[in-house]
Structure 1
Amino acid sequence: MIRWFTNNGIAANLLMIGILLAGVYSAMFKVPLEVIPPDSGWKIVYMEVMYRGGTAKDVEKGVLLPVERALEGLNGIREINSDGMRGRAKFYIKAEKGTDLRELRENIRGRVDQISTFPAETEPPKIVIPNFSSFFPVISIAVTGKLQEEELREITHQVRDDILEIDGISQASAQGDRSYEISVEAKIPKLESYNLGFRELVDSIRRSSIDLPAGSINSESGRLIVRTRGQAYSKKEFENIPVRAANGAEVRLGEVAEIKDGFEEDKVLTDFNGNPTMFVRVSRTGKESAIDIADKVKEYVENSGERFAEGIQLFTWDDKSLSMRGRLGTLVSSLLQGSILVFIVLGLFLRPKVALWVVIGIPVSFAGGVILMPFFGVTANVMSLFGFIIVLGVVVDDAIVTGENVYSKLQSGLNPVEASILGTKEVTVPVTFGILTTIAAFIPLLYLNEGRFGDFASQIPPIVAPVLLFSLIESKLILPSHLKHVKPRNTEKGIFTRFQKSFANGLEWFVDKVYRPSLEIAVKWRISVLASFIAAAFIMAGVWSSGRIGFSGHPSVESLKIAASLNLPNDLGIEKTASIINKIEQAAYSIKDEFIDPKTGTTLIQNIAKVTGSYRLGGRYDESRGQVIVEVTPPSIRSEPGPKNSEIAQRWKEVVGEIEEADDFSIQSETFGRRNNDDDEQKQSEPLELELRGPYSEKKNEIAQRIK
């Protein structure tokens, strides 16, 4: 086959062009661009049970414990994490490896449906398999303005609807808005005058505000569906619910109670650059491109001034496509640098034509890898692109070995065609085994399929293996047909030829005078050489075991956001939380002028978001928690690298000072890694999490405080 492709250059060129075109087509239409790898490693079934009016203790007793007992012993469940809070119970049910999540969901539903002790105020459980692609939005839009909550909510939903109408975007959701709620507050004097009690109010709502199917009636004229339609949805409908009727007169709910049509009582306060705000989270799904989504959202935000009234501003926030753009930029720059270096080195020591055809093998091999990405279920994300960057360093090794051997045959006097065929055949076996052993070294990453780390690592082998295999195909079938056109050195004359020959002679002198004698000595004293390498291995093992080389499960990678998180004791109230969060926010504003881009004169701190009453943007209500998030200018668009995030975070912490009331206060400046705490030992240590499990009791709280 090597001889046939060498003699039939048109077939070799068609093969090369076909691989390149197929790779371009696959990249444009078959491989979606996303920020993170798919969520195959998150084997979770999520269940939520609403308990109207229940305290956290009520939720634990009435929902958490019965559900945990019902699911005990169910096959396929590895772990159950339950969370009880006021009015709601959440269950994160982790599945065993290899478990079908849909089947597990139905089994869970069957067990939960058998529970007969749920309080009457609970709603039917919602059991779903989470789609984690929507959990990590590509980009968010901050909708801000000095508006009432109803107006801001309406505009935010309008922005969401506008985004969903854009071609190529099919997933967007509003964040930060409260759900609508109708509350009924009894008028005590009115109740007493009518001799009514609370139970009668509750029963009247439960009896009259209901949608209930009642079966069907078969008749000669057809089938009639019987259903009551009495569910009340508006304030007016609730006011007209009859509470008591006697002698043709009715007492309606609006007469004995005040009906309020508003929002849920618990409110998470969210500000963006000092103004009330809500967010629209935009995610990707299917084959949608993360970069394309981000570009369209930015275009929408730039033109938003024409759509909304004065005072309403839209900002882009948390653009995760920047990491994808950065990884693509790294791949392209590495590809260009590697190609240029290979061309220069081979051009100087061999021939420019040999270098050119070896370099062309890089895009051919990469195109082959892209062709097979859809078949392996791999998308273009930060980890799969990292796989391309890794393999870039070894992708041309086989072509270099083949090209050098063909060139040596050419220099020995063989005609170019025979030199290409013989030179390629001689190195086929070692080159093939070299590729296979490299592939084998990456294969174990496929079996690291536990959790998110497994999702990340498993993206690399399906990239490395196809690229190397197509590199082998290119070096054995395409490269020889091109190298047959290379002429021996002595048939060409010129300044460059003499200059190139001097480099080649220098390399040959180094091989003959330095490398070959060293190799002969190493072979002669091979026992001593082997012993020295073993000794070096023991030395490195000793350095490792001594603790001089640290270990981190994840490298410290700077994020584009710096987050200050606050956790106060539960008894201090939302007012105290708001006071301290405002202090942290003002400290962030005060350091904006300290971190300036020297060329543009603009501050490196772009936007500041504040959350009071929750542990994060879009999180559940918790009056003792709060967070301030600072968005910094990406280093790629600064005139100079400037300060690290850790330096900005440290200065921010100095300005904030000590918060004596806080159970925990930290500033996180990195995507992975450690928090910025004052204690040097804490800076050097990995975070450790302890779980204290068991029924709620004062004794457990006491033990928890002692551990803390």
Structure 2
Amino acid sequence: MRSIIAWFTQNHVATNLLMAFLLLGGIIIGLGFKVEIFPEVTLDKVTISVVYSGATPEEIEESIIKPIEEAVSGLSGVKEIDSTASEGLATIVVEALKDYDLSTLYDDIKSEVDRLDTLPEEAEDPIVEKITRKNQVLDLALYGQLPETYLKKQAQKIKDDLTSLPDVSLVSLSGIRDNEIHIQISEQTLRKYNLSLTEVAEKIKSYSQDLPLGRIKDPAGEILLRFKGKRYTKEDFEQIPLITQPDGSILRVKDLGQVQDTFEDEDLKVRFQGLPAVLIQVYRIGEQNTLTVAKEVKEYVAQTQKYLPPNLHLAVYDDTSKLLKDRIKLLLKNMAFGLILVVITLSLFLNFRLALWVSLGIPISFAGAFLLLPFTDISINMISLFAFIMVLGIMVDDAIVIGENIYTKHQQGLSPFKASVEGAYEVGRPVIFSVLTTLAAFFPLLLGSGQMGKFMRNIPIVVNTVLFVSLLEALFVLPCHLKGSLGKQKLTEPQLVPRLLNKIITGPYAKTLKFCLNYRYIFFSFCILLLLLAVGVVKGGLIKFTFFPKVESDFLTCNLTLPPGTPLSYTEKIVKKIEKDLLTVIARAEQNRPADSPPLLKYSLTLLG
């Protein structure tokens, strides 16, 4: 290793090229990094959902859930089945075994479910899907005292506008009911034309469907034929023919009853700031940048609000990209403070030029890590940024040790070149092993399984990559720079701070160390006592143990559960009373705050259903 250190120390051009490559390459790669809130992970689960309108949870369990569970429970790769029966809906979640191919399990489940012929005829076809975690960027609310039809139409237009933006691909709407066509026919009218309700329903069904018609073979290829007869609008359904009357005229649906274009009969209402609302969710998919998506959407919201009617508003109410921006700002802030503190500390104890070169190892190590991280499928996210912030306090240790030893060798009279080579080589092996022990401490996080394991693997990969680059920089780049720096200064007497430190080391510290060595058994017993006390404090519950600390939230949530079958109007009445009481409490709190303080209430969102 001495020869490698000597070569890099002697060849400053190669060393500077290596440093430039790490810095510039890392910056270029870093600017193109995928930025997301949380790492993209697969959940290893398949969900089966079946809608059975009007059925009770007990009926759904007996007629839907049990047959599906029996069909899929014997499949290879199934770890666990979790089923939920609610009014009108059955949900079955199948979890795959670790490392089992989810696509294979999905195909097997779909085949078994499609083969079932015992499900109720009134139930809709089962929907089998892989559970994917959508990367939500921000939420919008379109709200105003306007009819539901108008709100839905405007929300759909905004959704189309958003998906047409260059960096936005996935937008969804919630808080709105699906459209339904209602056909009302009286019994008297049916008797008049000698028809039954079942006959009318079958006629309407037969005239509103898409049908495959086969294929036409041609020398140029094959053409698939399909009849597109699905009806969607009120006018389409009104024109459906039912029977031909004796006089030759055709009786159509519009002649028999009233056709209404309305919404499905579902208990669902959303209010934002006390007004009817539609919620719009914007997601990031693929390689899209979370911050870029958020910026484009906010610009669109600002422009669109200018052209909306006075009684219609569009607002951003949940911006998760802000968490990411705050974490990036924290990283940059900590990096700046770290650089400053390293420079100040080393300047006081050693040398200003040495402090500058050691502190330069921080950006070099980060940039070098960006060069290597693309090979590990790591993105810029909340977890990896946490790892970057954590490793800030560790990464300069090896550079400080090597830099201090080189400085000491030079103080002892060695030439700058000799001091740089011997100083780095002498402590090189201990430094390498100290870094390896740190790498080993984080390695178990790579062995985690499940969703949490996939999340946590970001920490050891980032930490170990940064430490690896930091070690290379300290061993091969730093000695070359210190050789040039030491060659420009004369040997001087130690400064005031180093002299004071030497007095402490040779005085109180040496006496304490001598005492501990002379009475080592007493000192060792004291250490064991401290360890037992620490264990007792934790076991006794004086220090609480939680996976995540309890942090005060910016949101106040109130959940209200009423007995099944409670009318929506009654639920809404109670919710409005709760809203009124909350607003009264907030208004009282506002009175005790300074006049220039920001409002306590930013927005209120109410979901009924």
Question: Do the aligned partners of 1:144 and 1:314 also contact (CA within 8 Å) in 2?
Answer: yes
Amino acid at match of 1:303: Q
Local SS of the residue matching 2:93: strand
The Cα of 1:165 is off from its aligned counterpart by: 2.0
Deviations 1:347-373 (A, max 9, x none): 001001111110000111111222222
Match of 1:282 in 2: 282
Distance in structure 1 (CA, Å) of the matches to 2:486 and 2:208 = 92
Structure 2 letter corresponding to 1:372: L
What amino acid maps onto 2:48 in structure 1? Answer: M
The equivalent of 1:668 in structure 2 is none
Question: SS at the partner of 1:141?
Answer: strand
Q: CA deviation at 1:219?
A: 8.9
TM-superposed CA distance for 1:240, in Å, is 3.1
Give the Å deviation of 1:106: 0.1
Partner in structure 2 of residue 507 of structure 1: 501
Q: Is 1:577 matched with 2:571? A: yes
Of 20, 23, 29, 1:20 maps to 23
CA contact 2:15–2:480 (8 Å) conserved in 1: yes
Residue 183 of structure 2 corresponds to residue 184 of structure 1: yes
Partner in structure 2 of residue 37 of structure 1: 39
Q: After superposing the two structures, state which structure 1 stretch, 218-227 or 88-97, moved more.
A: 218-227
**How does 1:565-604 map onto structure 2 within 5 Å?**
565-593=559-587, 594-595=589-590, 598=594, 600-604=596-600
Quickly say closer, same or farther: Cα 1:327–1:8, change in 2 above 3 A.
same
Q: Give the match's secondary structure for 2:106.
A: helix
Deviation digits for residues 592-637 of structure 1 (CA, Å, limit 9, x no counterpart): 3424763733312111111122xxxxxxxxxxxxxxxxxxxxxxxx
Indicate the SS of the match to 1:174. strand
Alpha-carbon distance between aligned partners in 2 of 1:325 and 1:395, rounded to the nearest angstrom: 23
- The answer to whether the Cα contact below 8 Å between 1:597 and 1:603 also exists between their aligned partners in 2 is no
**2:267·2:568 contact (CA, 8 Å) conserved in 1?**
no
Aligned twin of 2:331: 331
Which SS does the other structure have where 1:317 is aligned?
A: strand
Opposite residue 611 of structure 1, the aligned amino acid is L
Q: List per-residue Cα deviations over 1:447-481 (Å, max 9, x = no partner).
A: 22223x32332210110001000000000010000
Distance in 2 (CA, whole Å) between partners of 1:523 and 1:482 is 40
Partner-residue secondary structure (3-state), 2:548 = coil
1:397 is aligned to 2:397: yes
Q: Cα gap change, 1:579/1:221 in structure 2, threshold over 3 Å: closer, same or farther?
A: closer
- How far apart in 1 are the matches of 2:138 and 2:223? 50
Which amino acid letter does the alignment assign opposite residue 556 of structure 1?
K
Deviation, structure 1 residue 591: 3.3
Shift of 1:260: 2.0
Distance of 1:224 and 1:463 partners within structure 2 = 53
Query: d(CA) in 2 for partners of 1:57 and 1:254?
Result: 39
Q: Which residue of 2 aligns with 1:11?
A: 14
Which 10-residue stretch deviates more, 400-409 or 288-297?
Answer: 288-297
After the TM superposition, which residues 73-88 of structure 1 pair with which residues of structure 2 at under 5 Å, given as runs? 73-88=74-89
Q: Quote the offset at 1:202 in angstroms.
A: 2.6
Cα gap change, 1:487 to 1:252, in 2 (>3 Å): closer
Distance 2:217 2:293 in 1: 53
Corresponding residue of 2:550: 556
Quote how far apart the aligned CAs of 1:83 are: 2.6
Q: Offset of 1:223 from its aligned partner?
A: 6.8
8 Å CA contact 2:73–2:81 kept in 1: the answer is no
The 1:476/1:599 distance shift into structure 2, 3 A limit, reads: farther
| TM-score with structure 1 setting the length | 0.81
Q: Cα gap change, 1:80/1:259 in structure 2, threshold over 3 Å: closer, same or farther? A: farther
Cα distance, 1:581–1:212 mapped onto 2, change above 3 Å = same
8 Å Cα contact 2:41-2:455 kept in structure 1: no
Displacement after TM superposition at 1:94 (Å): 1.5
Match of 1:382 in 2: 382
Contact 1:141 1:314 in 2 (8 A): yes
Q: Where does residue 299 of structure 2 map in the other structure?
A: 299
8 Å contact from structure 1 (residues 187, 258) kept in 2: no
Whether contact under 8 Å (1:178, 1:264) holds in the other structure is yes
- Give the direction of change, closer, same or farther, for the CA distance of 1:242–1:597 in structure 2 (3 Å limit): same
The equivalent of 1:346 in structure 2 is 346
> Does structure 1 retain, via aligned residues, the 8 Å contact 2:411–2:491?
no
* Matching of residue 212 in structure 1 with residue 215 in structure 2: no
CA drift of 1:89 comes to: 2.5
Q: 1:220 to 1:359 in 2, by over 3 A?
A: closer
Report the counterpart of residue 62 of structure 1 in structure 2: 63
User: What is the alpha-carbon distance in structure 2 between the residues aligned to residue 600 and residue 337 of structure 1?
Assistant: 32
Provide the residue aligned with 2:99 in structure 1: 98
Q: Deviations over 1:157-180 (max 9, x none)?
A: 121122222222222122222111
Q: Deviations over 1:89-147 (max 9, x none)?
A: 2222221111111111001011112211122233332222233124xx21111111221
Secondary structure of the structure 2 residue equivalent to 1:5? helix
Structure 1 position 546, deviation (Å): 1.9
Q: Quote how far apart the aligned CAs of 1:11 are.
A: 1.1
Task: Describe the shift of the 1:219–1:525 C-alpha distance in structure 2 as closer, same or farther (beyond 3 A).
Answer: closer
1:423-466 CA distance string (max 9 Å, x none): 00001100000001101100111122223x32332210110001
Q: Secondary structure at the match of 2:282?
A: strand
Q: Name the stretch that deviates more: 258-267 or 410-419.
A: 258-267
Describe the shift of the 1:570–1:88 C-alpha distance in structure 2 as closer, same or farther (beyond 3 A): closer
C-alpha change, 1:131 and 1:2, in structure 2 (3 Å) is same
Unpaired segments ≥5 residues, structure 1: 614-708
C-alpha distance in 2, partners of 1:599/1:400? 51
Match of 1:528 among 503, 522, 531: 522
**Superposition pairs of residues 469-480 of structure 1, within 5 angstroms:** 469-480=468-479
Distance 1:179 1:306, change over 3 A: same
Amino acid of the structure 2 residue aligned with 1:71: V
* Pair 1:154 & 2:153 matched: yes
Q: CA deviation at 1:346?
A: 0.7
Distance 1:221 1:290 in 2: 46
The higher-RCO structure (CA 8 Å, 6+ apart) is 2
Give the corresponding residue for 1:129.
130
* CA distance in structure 1 between the partners assigned to 2:91 and 2:268 by the alignment: 19
* Cα 1:530–1:457 shift into 2, 3 Å: farther
| Structure 2 CA distance for partners of 1:260 and 1:83, relative to 1, 3 Å | farther
The question of whether the paired residues in 1 share the 8 Å contact of 2:270 and 2:606 is answered with yes
State the Cα distance separating 1:14 from its structure 2 match: 1.1
Contact 1:39 1:133 in 2 (8 A): no
Counterpart amino acid of residue 606 in structure 1: K
Alignment partners' CA distance in 2, 1:387 and 1:332: 13
Tell me how far apart the structure 2 counterparts of residues 430 and 109 of structure 1 sit (CA, whole Å): 58
- 1:109 aligns with 110
Query: Letter of the aligned partner of 1:36 in structure 2?
Result: F
Q: Which residue of 2 aligns with 1:201?
A: 200
The residue matched to 1:570 in structure 2 has which SS? Answer: coil
2:475 alignment partner, SS class: helix
* Counterpart contact for 2:44–2:131, Cα < 8 Å: no
* Residue 216 (structure 1) shift: 3.7
Note closer, same or farther for the CA distance 1:603–1:218 as it changes in structure 2 (3 Å cut): closer
Shift, 1:53, TM fit: 5.0
Instruction: Specify the alignment match of 2:90 in structure 1.
Output: 89
After superposing the two structures, state which structure 1 stretch, 211-220 or 264-273, moved more.
211-220
Aligned to 1:394, the other structure's residue is in SS state helix
275-284 vs 245-254, which moves further: 245-254
Partner secondary structure for residue 172 of structure 1:
strand
Q: Deviations over 1:59-101 (max 9, x none)?
A: 3333222111111221212222223334432222221111111
Q: Indicate if the aligned counterparts of 1:164 and 1:170 stay in contact, CA closer than 8 A.
A: yes
Aligned-partner residue type, residue 590 of structure 1: T
Structure 1 residues 490-505: aligned runs within 5 Å: 491=490, 501-505=495-499
1:313 aligns to what?
Answer: 313
Q: Secondary structure at the match of 2:485?
A: coil
Alignment CA distance shift 1:577-1:507 (3 Å): same
1:232 aligns with 2:231: yes
How many residues matched?
A: 603
